[in-house]
A and B are shown apart, each in its own frame.
Chain A
Amino acid sequence: MKDKKLIITGMIIFFVIVTFPFWYNRGKAAPQPDLILTTKAKTAKVCVRSTEYMRGEHMQLLDVWRDSVVRRGERIYVSPAGKEYNMSLTNTCLDCHSNKADFCDRCHNYASVRPYCWDCHIDNPKENS
């Protein structure tokens, strides 16, 4: 055990490096992103499901929509509230949420997720027209 000092110093350095991100960022939590709703989204009041559901599960919902539309050709979504929607990211979701940069991107950047929807789907049907 003649290297005791060396080993312990090494362990301390290792521990400090490993925990560095935690104590370096302590108390500096990024604020929850502030989403901007378009006037159309505000007047509609409800999305296809409750806000809470949409916030937590919109990715699963979109996944179900995509399989249903692309593979089974079923394109109408009857929400639990009984309202019918055309299952289309481009033509339904983005019709209200036409501000991708202030709506979709804010949360996606905050959560550091990079969905590849926009590689093909045109991100804003109304921006150009």
Chain B
Amino acid sequence: MDSSRRRILQLLGLSSLALTARPVFNAFAKEEHAEKPEAILKDSENALKAKQWALVIDTRQFESEEDLEPLMEVCNEVHNVPHLSEKRHEIKWIWGEPYHNAFPGKAARFLSEEVEHKPFLVLCNHCENPPCVRACPTQATFKRESDGIVLMDFHRCIGCRFCMAACPFGARSFNFRDPRPFIKEINEKFPTRMKGVVEKCNFCAERLAEGQLPACVEISEGKLTFGDLYDPESEVRELIRTHYTIRRKQTLGTEPSVYYIV
């Protein structure tokens, strides 16, 4: 091909013309769709809002496994949590743990009989600095900006279980089996999970959106208190101010949002 100066200049001119064509076409395309109104996405007006949700558990009011049972029961029902009797396959959102397991750094060699033998209610701590979120390669688990809940997007979870390794509280469970056959009674308003995803407590995000308190809090008759950690007037702050509280593995720096009155 003859590559004279004239030819090259012609080509340059043509290509720059082609580059300007796209925005022009886009502008025309937009005009065509201009009359199509857009839908709006918003949150519900009666949704409960906070900067960082927190839970205060009054452990003095729980004496035995039976006291924890109704709270665990209601959570499992609401969220379609399967009951797998095999320990390796167990799915746990909220459960009881002995003191020396729940608070390993704080257990003395000899403990009071009462503390030694009663179970402590444990669940996801919805940490302010969550290590599971940093570990997740797909951002399937994330800390929701609007209210500080550490949530799971099951659609994105690839089941790598890095988050389970990262969580110092063992708050996450992996679905080694299809959970559906192991759900006692399916709550049709809430999805189940599938084999191969990790799940955990979601602080009842779906209930908060409708203006309801988490199911465990609602049924606890005041033994659990739920509120905004950053609202100095909130009930949880009042309890923390007036009682001695501890948190699980605080020294790790994950800043758990679940406080225990002991």
Binding site for B on A (CB under 8 A): 49, 64, 66, 68, 70-80, 87, 90-91, 116, 119-122, 125, 128-129
- How distant is B222 from chain A, measured CB to nearest CB, in Å? 27
Within 8 A of A (CB), among B131-184: 142, 144, 146-147, 151, 153-155
Q: Does B21 contact A (CB under 8 A)?
A: no
Partner among B36, B39, B154, B189 whose Cβ is within 8 Å of the Cβ of A120: B154
**A119, B197: Cα distance in complex, Å:** 11
What are 8 A-to-B residue pairs whose CB atoms are below 8 Å? A70-B151, A70-B155, A71-B151, A77-B41, A80-B37, A120-B194, A122-B191, A122-B192
Residues of B within 8 A of A66 (CB): 155
Closest to B152 in A: A70
Q: Does B209 contact A (CB under 8 A)?
A: yes
B189 near A91 with CB under 8 A, answer yes
Partner among B38, B39, B142, B194 whose Cβ is within 8 Å of the Cβ of A71: B142
Contact count band on B: 20 to 34
Partner among A49, A73, A79 whose Cβ is within 8 Å of the Cβ of B209: A73
**A74, B188: Cα distance in complex, Å:** 21
Residues of B within 8 A of A76 (CB): 41-44
**A18, B43: Cα distance in complex, Å:** 54
Residues of A within 8 A of B147 (CB): 73
Residues of A within 8 A of B41 (CB): 64, 68, 72, 74, 76-78, 87
B188 near A80 with CB under 8 A, answer no
Residues of A within 8 A of B146 (CB): 72-73
**A36, B57: Cα distance in complex, Å:** 51
- How distant is A75 from chain B, measured CB to nearest CB, in Å? 5
**A71, B154: Cα distance in complex, Å:** 11
Within 8 A of A (CB), among B192-223: 192-194, 205, 209
Residues of B within 8 A of A119 (CB): 194
Residues of B within 8 A of A122 (CB): 186, 188, 191-192
Residues of A within 8 A of B193 (CB): 120
B192 near A128 with CB under 8 A, answer no
- How distant is A55 from chain B, measured CB to nearest CB, in Å? 16
A71 near B186 with CB under 8 A, answer no
B42 near A74 with CB under 8 A, answer yes
Further contacts, 11 of them, CB under 8 A, given A72-B146, A74-B42, A120-B154:
A72-B144, A73-B43, A73-B47, A73-B146, A73-B147, A73-B205, A73-B209, A78-B41, A80-B37, A116-B194, A120-B193
- How distant is A107 from chain B, measured CB to nearest CB, in Å? 21
Closest to B210 in A: A75
A121 near B205 with CB under 8 A, answer no
**A22, B189: Cα distance in complex, Å:** 46
Residues of A within 8 A of B37 (CB): 80
Residues of B within 8 A of A72 (CB): 41, 144, 146
Q: Does B40 contact A (CB under 8 A)?
A: yes
- How distant is A90 from chain B, measured CB to nearest CB, in Å? 6
Residues of B within 8 A of A78 (CB): 39-42
**A30, B26: Cα distance in complex, Å:** 37
**A68, B40: Cα distance in complex, Å:** 11
**A90, B44: Cα distance in complex, Å:** 18
A120 near B188 with CB under 8 A, answer no
Closest to A79 in B: B39
B43 near A75 with CB under 8 A, answer yes
